[in-house]
Chain A
Amino acid sequence: MSFGVVILVHTALGRAAQVIRHWARSGCPVVVHVDAAMKPARYARFRAQFDDLSDQVLFCERHRCEWGGWGIVAATRSGAALLLERFPDLGHVYLASGACVPLRPVAELDAYLRDRPGTDFIESARVAHVPWTVGGLSEERFTLRFPFSWKRQRWLFDRYVALQRRLGVRRRLPEGLEPHIGSQWWCLSAATLRAILSDPQRPALDRYFRRVWIPDESYFQSLARRWSGRIESRSLTMCKFDFQGKPHLFYDDHLPLLRRSDCFVARKIWPRAEAIYAQMEAGGHPAGVAEPAPARIDRVFAEATERRVRGRAGLYMQSRLPHEGWENGFTAAPYGVLEGFAELYEGFGPWFAKASGATVHGHVFAPEGAEFEDGAPIWRGALAAAPELRDHNAQRFLTNLIWNGRAGRQVFQFGPRDSQFVSWDIAKDPNARIGVISGAWAVPLFASGLPVARLKDEAARLQRVEADHLEALRSPHAKARVRVWTLAEFLETPDEALARILADIAPGRTGPLPAPPALRPLEGFGRFLQEMRNQGMHPYLTGDVPAEPPAPRQPAPRPYIVRPHG
């Protein structure tokens, strides 16, 4: 065998023993480092298991290994020194832990290393060039002192860092040292490792690295830069980190994924992942001379980070309730809001559904209850129409509506008669495409045929509500795409306005505008508005609809009463 293994062990002893045996049985010499924290009796029992392999499995001097501390480097050094001393002919030394499991046959790794003599596989990057920070520290790992444990003495740790920052402490680096960081798990050539272990500057380096934070990720990584002839800056041990810099665990259901990666060794494996250990026992999954390709399975882990950090836009659920502004999208998909159109046209909903291909609801915030598509009492997601239920949490009703129908595009009608809880939400939502014909609420009032005296209070109320809503739409916080026409403006060029709003809501649509439905009859509407003015209620949001239709001899600009097409 051309390489030996140094294994650091601290927990899950049963699995660690299994892995040690596997390396040894495959022909590798193994040096085991056991954490000094382990009780003597337990250590003795652990060690006794390998009596039958005593010429191949050695135990080195023990150190106390604490996460982020110097002990791990000391342990690695002791192990490597013992291995090189007892097996001087090795080409490479592989550093692993009890939770690192070989995926491919050890012979394949052996052949791979034989083909690449003198190459050092160690991830080693300039600290300034990579975003790998833990606990908010990157370059400061090397310029501050860290005598306290991050896991046990966090308060002292944080205070001491703060103090040093305040005093402007900056440690001087040992002569000629260029700090590099990278994965703790490496495979170095024997020559490089010997050079590192017998570095003439070693006492100064040790003194320095003893107070560096997480030195196991920088000691060998920095010194390899000094002594190596050929660095391959990657680890042969596959390890995926989550958004907190903690390694992902691999389980039995990851086995196909692990095989696809063609990596020689993976960590960390959950100790009870029977199938992964069973594969190792069976000799590993052969992949011939394939190059390890850990990037092949990156997507799965990148998705996990994305989900944990950004989440699914427009989703509100038991484990995701973002503060306002942190939603990464208030709603799940673009949608249209039409105000005043259904009041002006007969059968507007079905026509717009046909023209746009979207799902077109009625007034989903109507006071009588939500008017879903086709008048259904309940819609996708089992969203019920009951008004109390909806208004109990109108924001969630809206986000649920959009989330449930996110596969398609939805449009709903809105107006001043409706409950206004979501008025600001839709105004601020970039997914909303809003078209407003202001003052269109006057058309149903007119059509009711009731005397103006009985309608003017309601008209005043609707106008006030709509004015508030328009204020939201025009505020600097509004992010929706908004188009507003007064009723008078709209009636001048209704087809053009329809074409615009249709293009907003269904951008992929091509071809000419299908013939719009009939406008509701408006003869006498101008007179109706004038009568309202006469009674003291000025419907200013409708725009300037003249009291009498213009005389036919006037050519200017277009008739106010638009004849339906066809």
Chain B
Amino acid sequence: MKAWQAYRLRLHRRRWRLRALRKRRELTTVVDRTRAIRPADILVFTTLRNENMRLPHFLDYYRRMGVGHFLMVDNGSNDGGAEYLAAQEDVSLWRSDASYKRARFGVDWLNWLARRHGHGHWCLTVDPDELLVYPFCDTRPLKALTDWLDASSIRSFGAMLLDLYPKGTIGAQPYERGGDPLEIACWFDPGNYSLSRNETFGNLWIQGGPRARMFFAQEPWRAPALNKIPLVKWDRRYAYVSSTHMLLPRGLNLVYDEWGGEKTSGLLLHTKFLDGFGAKAREELQRRQHYAASAEYKAYAAGLEADPELWCRWSEKYINWRQLEELGLMSRGNWT
């Protein structure tokens, strides 16, 4: 990398960090329990809006994995989710009624919180509909992974977004609050992902899955990005650039091997396509608070009017991480 290029990226990073500093004023504290954070705790960072249905399962899922504390930003929920979160002993909650879009889809808020509370911790930044799967997650807690990453001097861990969907139309099976969304949305596309390098930031750009083939078949370049780097040993100098797709400094984006080997990686099981998704897509379309002029939600709304089924005869039913690894979607790398 040329010196001037490095310098430009440094300026870039500084800009996002200053922006996070400015945007912190949009956050008001609801409950701050961050004093309870112990030095070795793994932290979860989340922004959400009207996700009350999913919250109990979400918290349980990550508690069982051994997460120590949740730092959450509520962007104007009115479904009782905020009250529920405020009552949880391991949650610190902030509220913002400002624009999600102008906080760069929540990234500014989370960059600030991570800078303030995440320094020196393993930080997992996920949405309420994203469930992390990593090698051996059925037998080893998340701490085993982060200890190993520490011992291997690895600072960031990649986990591609894997869209899950039900068999039949999206709204056909109702989801009960607290239930396991993976019991309904348990199908995924096993082998239709395309990837290329982003030369500026060094990250991969991955597209594909059901959203690409159902909603973006004619304009695939607009299909949503699936590459994610959600788990990072945070340092106050770091910053997410665009969602959790990429970070700076750019060495953190190198979660893939370029010389033939496989690095260790996981997946974020994305359970967005559950009952209630259609209504949410229409609401989000009206709010116009999403990426690329809400192109994604426009496409969904258009597709969902016709009530499409994402399932096809080559969809694979989710069993466990070993199946995902066998299919080539994630890898143990040399962690055994």
Contact = CB atoms under 8 A, between A and B. Distances in A.
A308 B329 CA distance: 15
Task: Name the residue in A248, A300, A320, A379 with the highest tally of chain B Cβ atoms < 10 Å from its Cβ.
Answer: A320
Nearest to B335: A304
Interface in B233-266: 255-265
Interface string A345-380: 000000000000000000000000000000000111
B151 A246 contact: yes
Given A318-B227, A381-B314, A304 B334 contact: yes
A379 B314 CA distance: 7
A366 B328 CA distance: 27
Contact of B191 (A252, A304, A381, A392): A381
A98 to B, nearest CB: 15
A192 interface: no
A502 B274 CA distance: 48
A400 B191 contact: yes
B262 A382 contact: no
Given A300-B336, A381-B314, A386-B217, A319 B258 contact: no
Contact of A396 (B194, B210, B218, B336): B194
Contacts of B213: 378, 382, 384, 386, 389
B204 interface: yes
A326 B256 CA distance: 14
A516 to B, nearest CB: 32
A305 interface: yes
Contacts, number: 173
Given A321-B258, A323-B259, A316 B217 contact: no
Interface residues of B, number: 59
B200 interface: no
A4 B166 CA distance: 62
Nearest to A332: B328
A388 interface: yes
Given A251-B136, A319-B255, A307 B331 contact: yes
Contact of A311 (B152, B220, B260): B260
A424 interface: no
A308 B212 contact: no
Contact of B328 (A317, A328, A383): A317
B315 interface: yes
A322 B159 CA distance: 18
B262 A307 contact: yes
Interface residues of A, number: 51
A317 B330 contact: yes
A383 B336 contact: no
B158 to A, nearest CB: 5
B314 A312 contact: no
Contacts of B196: 393
Interface string A179-201: 00000000000000000000000
Contact of B263 (A251, A308, A400): A308
A404 B190 contact: yes
Given A381-B191, A384-B217, A393-B196, A319 B334 contact: no
Given A317-B328, A326-B258, A380-B314, 16 more contacts: A249-B151, A252-B139, A301-B336, A307-B262, A309-B260, A311-B257, A317-B331, A319-B264, A320-B257, A320-B261, A378-B312, A381-B192, A382-B315, A383-B191, A383-B192, A396-B193
